[in-house]
Amino acid sequence: MAQTEYRQKRFERPPGATEILLIRHGESRAATAENPFPLVMGHGDPELHPNGREQARRVGERLKGHPIRAIYVSNLRRTSETAAPLAGHLGLEPVVDPDLREVFLGDWEGGVLRIKAAQNDPVYLRMQEEQRWDVIPGGESHEVLMARLLRALGRIHSKHPDELVAAVVHGGVVGSILAAATGARPFAFNGCDNGSISHIVMVQGKILVRRFNDTTHLRDEISSASGQMT
């Protein structure tokens, strides 16, 4: 009599769940003290660097064969510019959700964070040690950030049960969502690469993590000088 075998199975999306591909925007232009980023609702709003446009093209090529039903972006142009190639392949109009915007950096908006980080500013070092954005004067607290991100994810989930969607967002957003999903320290997943793909599943009020910082499509890196700070 043959024995019953119980084999390992591949992951299957639970009924009613929403799969979300969290795509970090492509590299944005360099920050300088003389040419700060323009602001949108107080947030720095740089355009993509040429590297970022190439990263966006590669994201589009990587995902154009996937059954993506919607594309979400923040109200900052580096996300809509990154989403454009994929949206063109799929014939979709990206949906703007301002709650998906990057962490608010208070007095360090407009590119100042990058400068402070390069200088090893004491406040920047304290921010990293305490893993709190609101160490920056006027910076957004973890609680306020997560409240708006969970609102946005909840809206996406309610509109797309049993579907796959893409959300082109920011490094701080990806890091915060994955940290919350896994119970990790707030900055544990910060620093995902520009143009990278992370993958979560929303189901029954929970967030399942399937993938983080997938850069297969970027392996022959465009430039070794590519920046990674917001």
Return d(Cα 228, Cα 221) in angstroms, integer.
13
Which of 211, 169, 176 minimizes the C-alpha distance to 194?
169
Of the residues 19, 25, 54, 81, which is catalytic? 25
Active site residue 25: yes
**Strand 68-73 relative to strand 163-169: parallel, antiparallel, unpaired?**
parallel
In 3D space, the residue among 206, 207, 202 whose CA is nearest the CA of residue 159 turns out to be 202
Respond yes or no: is residue 66 known to be catalytic.
no
The residue annotated as part of the active site, out of 19, 27, 81, 102, is: 102
Question: Whole-angstrom Cα distance, residue 27 to residue 59?
Answer: 13
Q: Check: CB of residue 190 under 8 Å from CB of residue 102.
A: no
> Which residues are marked as active site?
25, 102
